Amino acid sequence: MEEILNLLQENARLSVTDIAAMTKKSTEEVQSVITKLEQDGVILKYATIVNPEKIETSDDKVKAEIEIQVQPEREHGFDALAERIYKYPQVKSVYLMSGGYDLKVVIEGDSLKEVAFFVARKLSTLDGVRSTKTHFFLKTYKENGVLYVDDKKDHREGVTA
């Protein structure tokens, strides 16, 4: 099961036949494992990773990471506040963190102003939120193990006479 999951994480476009050949299992066994992983909620979604800098579009999204310090709720801890936050459509990810802040939230908006208003009017006003710190993404070099930059460039310095 783990071997099949690893192959799918590396390339979700692999066919059942390809995975069967790579794992030396029958196609029926592989399909059964994949079906079980989907039904058990282990595999949540198959997605395409897109490099936004390679797309000609006028609606560039602004992405930001917000560090949030919170006051955990009695009997619910951080979960109730995290749930309120992840229900907003602007929120792409929510993580419970150790260290100097409690929740890391990644959001997307159409502009810096939209993101700033979302943080000021929605996130920071939630009961239990003590402070927020916003960091805007300027450029992505690598994400989820995928390089977004052309790694084949010649980085040697030129020689002048």
CA–CA distance, 15 with 2 (Å, rounded to integer):
17
Residues 23, 79 within the same domain = no
Tell me the residue range of the domain where 81 lies: 59-139
CA–CA distance, 151 with 56 (Å, rounded to integer):
21
Q: Is 2 exposed, middle or buried (0-12, 13-18, 19+ CB in 10 A)?
A: exposed
- Kindly provide the residue ranges of all beta strands, DSSP E only, lying in the chain, ordered along the sequence: 62-70, 91-96, 103-109, 129-136, 142-143, 146-147
Residues 88, 22 within the same domain = no
Identity of the residue numbered 127: D
What does pTM read for this prediction? 0.77
Over residues 9-42, the pLDDT tens digits come to 889 999 999 999 999 999 999 999 999 999 999 9
Q: Identify the residue with better confidence: 148 or 161.
A: 148
The region of weakest confidence among 55-59, 86-90, 103-107 is 55-59
CA 63 to chain centre: 11
Is residue 53 over pLDDT 60? yes
Task: Specify the number of domains making up the chain.
Answer: 2
Residues 133, 81 within the same domain = yes
Residues 93, 26 within the same domain = no
The answer as to whether 115 is a domain residue is yes
The per-residue DSSP string of 138-149 comes to ---SEETTEE-S
Report whether 111 contacts 58 (CB < 8 A): no
Report whether 116 contacts 101 (CB < 8 A): no
Over residues 96-133, the pLDDT tens digits come to 999 999 999 999 999 999 999 999 999 999 999 999 99
Q: In the predicted model, what is the mean pLDDT of the chain?
A: 90
